[in-house]
Amino acid sequence: MRRGTTHRSLREADGPVDLRQRALLRPGQCPLPAAEAQPDQSRRPACKRCADRANGEAQRHDEDLAVAEMREHGFEAQEPYRGVKYPWRCLCHGCGTITPPTFGSILAGQSGCRRCADLRAGAARREDPERAAASMREAGLEPLEPYTTTMTPWRCRCTTCGRTSTPTLSKIRSGRRCKYCARFGFDRAAPARVYVVTRAQHGAVKIGVAGALQRNDRIAQHRRLGWTLFYEHDVPTGDDALSVEQTILRRLRAAGHGVFLTAVQMPNGWTETFDAVRVTAAQLGEAIREHQSTPAPPEPLTCSSVLPPKFLGSSG
136-179: per-residue pLDDT in tens? Answer: 998 889 999 999 888 889 999 988 888 899 999 988 887 788 87
> What is the per-residue pLDDT for 117?
87
Q: What is the residue-averaged pLDDT of the chain?
A: 78
Max Cα–Cα distance, the chain, nearest Å: 116
User: Could you give the count of Cα atoms lying within 13 Å of 40 in the half-sphere of its Cβ?
Assistant: 3
Span 172-198, average pLDDT: 81
Distance CA 238, CA 209 (A): 8
| DSSP 8-state class, residue 62 | P
pLDDT at 303 over 70: no
Distance CA 140, CA 125 (A): 25
Distance CA 162, CA 180 (A): 10
CB 69 within 8 A of CB 60: no
Give 311's pLDDT tier (boundaries 50, 70, 90). Answer: very low
pLDDT at 4 over 80: no
pLDDT at 313 over 90: no
| pTM for this model (two decimals) | 0.44
Length of the chain, in residues: 316
> What is the per-residue pLDDT for 228?
94
> What is the per-residue pLDDT for 152?
87
> What is the per-residue pLDDT for 43?
53
> What is the per-residue pLDDT for 244?
93
Q: Which amino acid is at 209?
A: V
79-98: per-residue pLDDT in tens? Answer: 999 888 899 999 998 888 99
Three-state DSSP state, 108 = coil
Distance CA 58, CA 53 (A): 9
pLDDT at 20 over 80: no
Span 249-253, average pLDDT: 92
Span 5-15, average pLDDT: 42
Give 54's pLDDT tier (boundaries 50, 70, 90). Answer: low
220-230: per-residue pLDDT in tens? Answer: 888 988 999 99
CB 74 within 8 A of CB 92: yes
pLDDT at 214 over 80: no
70-83: per-residue pLDDT in tens? Answer: 998 999 999 999 88
pLDDT at 36 over 60: no
Distance CA 259, CA 266 (A): 11
Where is average pLDDT lowest: 53-57, 108-112, 269-273? 53-57
Angle at 24 between CA 18 and CA 25, to 5 degrees: 95
Distance CA 90, CA 75 (A): 6
Span 202-227, average pLDDT: 85
Distance CA 103, CA 80 (A): 12
Span 50-60, average pLDDT: 65
**Distance set, CA 265 to CA 49, 217, 268, 269, 316 (Å):** 73, 20, 9, 10, 21
